[in-house]
Amino acid sequence: MSDFIKSVNVQDIRFPTSLEKDGSDAMNKDPDYSCPYVTITTDSGLQGFGITFTVGRGNNIVCEAIKLLSHLVVGQELSSIFADFASFWRSLTSEDQIRWLGPEKGVMHLAVAAIVNAVWDLWSKIEQKPLWKLLVDMEPEQLVSTIDFRHTTDTLTKEEALEILKEMQAGKNEREQLIKETGYPAYTTSCAWLGYSDDKIERLCKEAQAQGFSRFKMKVGSDLQDDKRRAQILRQTMDPSHLLMVDANQKWEVQEAIDWMRELVHFNITWIEEPTSPDDILGHAEIAKVLKPLGIGVATGEHCQNRIMFKQFLKAGAMQFCQIDSCRLGGVNENLAVILMAKKFDVPVCPHGGGVGLCEYTQHLSIFDYIAVSGSIEKRMLEYTDHLHEHFENPCRIKNGNYVVPDVPGYSIDMKASSLADYEWPTGRVWQALIKEGVYKV
């Protein structure tokens, strides 16, 4: 394995999802699910693929950011990266001049994620294991060597992380066996986007139940009466034992969130997701304090920019459900840091899925979490939406409302050649047709 990284290539891939109002919520009216698609190629011709998720315009900016970082990647020896992945990771997040543009947040951090995720894909393929299994089989020392603990040691040191992992070695094989049999619990967001009609919501909820789903998420926050009516439809359609979560996508002020949720309390809501600004740790803590006695937890994380923010959300009791994002955070390495911190605070990790590729990614993180860190699926579930899986060579699979444990080597993000050709912006076949029709313009 004295292989070197020879090239980093990136393609601007976008899907015209806004045409169907898929993915519409209180803050994102018309998302076109998109991703920079990174291909890392080594001297010997090995390839790893990685993405980060965006919702359309600006995907090209992240592609440019990936190109900017490429000089830190090309020429690196794989064995050196794998021996000290934390240092490689820090070289990407802390480059002397580029760091100013974050640090560790926004466009540049999304770019880091795509690159880092591609390196993990490559590693998993070399080891001939799905990513979750690569992680699960690592010695605790090796696993923590991939994590940059900078600016988190007041809350989680390398030594504490090691201790957690060592303690959870017991029972790993049994849990691996069990989760392969049962699958990992999923919930669906696909029934109740904000742009969907009442009829459509009812129909989709029935269909989802028939497929085995028992956990549902509804978008809220634009109109209280609408929210009540839609919650009513869902609750009437759902089995009483089923779980209902709601998601405001950052729409509210702190007090507004509290007032609004009080109005929805009798619908038996498991969590309110993103009630206000994703940067507002103290605001979330205030909301959580009021809603906790009402049985409603606060969930957030898909816009939580890095481990340092997660650290504070956890410390402040501002987050009862920890929604890591495989791409918003700087790839697998930083997700591992947050998974370990969440364990310390006994907060369940329920990753952000949906978009394009997020379900493919996060299944690995949650399965690892279950087998090697949390050891529990209590209060834990993985988001599922039914978009765009057809573009992946090895899409995630749902069976009876649970994710099927993936068994193909890698991080499950290889996109089909035909999809790459059709959806590259703006030159792909599908885009050229839409541009010609005047539906989109460059």
User: Which residues lie near its own copies (CB under 8 A)?
Assistant: 27-32, 54-58, 60-62, 64-65, 68, 94-110, 150-151, 153-154, 250, 253-255, 276-283, 286, 303, 305-306, 308-309, 311-312, 315-316
Helix (H/G/I), strand (E/B), else coil: 216: strand
Omega of the bond leading into 240 within 30 degrees of 0 (cis): no
Torsion of the alpha carbons at 310, 312, 316 and 320, rounded to the nearest 10: 0
Residue closer to its own copies by CB (options 39, 276) is 276
∠ Cα 230 234 240 (to 5°): 145
Q: Residue 306: exposed, middle, or buried by beta-carbon count in 10 A (0-12, 13-18, 19+)?
A: buried
Least distance to its own copies from the beta carbon of 132, Å?
27
Residue closer to its own copies by CB (options 36, 183) is 36
Does 219 qualify as catalytic in the annotation?
yes
Which member of 129, 217, 219, 364 is catalytic?
219
Residue closer to its own copies by CB (options 30, 393) is 30
Residue closer to its own copies by CB (options 227, 280) is 280
61 CB neighbour count, 10 Å cutoff: 16
* H or E element that contains 245: strand 243-247
Least distance to its own copies from the beta carbon of 284, Å?
10
Least distance to its own copies from the beta carbon of 256, Å?
8
Least distance to its own copies from the beta carbon of 152, Å?
8
Residue 384 tokens, joined = 């599922």
Does 387 qualify as catalytic in the annotation?
no
What is the rounded distance in angstroms from the CA atom of residue 270 to the CA atom of residue 383?
14
Residue closer to its own copies by CB (options 132, 440) is 440
What is the rounded distance in angstroms from the CA atom of residue 197 to the CA atom of residue 203?
10
Which of 325, 332, 311 has its CA nearest to residue 354? 325
From residue 71, alpha-carbon distances to 7, 76, 95, 116, 320 in Å are: 9, 9, 11, 14, 40
Least distance to its own copies from the beta carbon of 259, Å?
12
Which member of 242, 284, 352, 364 is catalytic?
352
Give me the active site residues, please. Answer: 219, 352
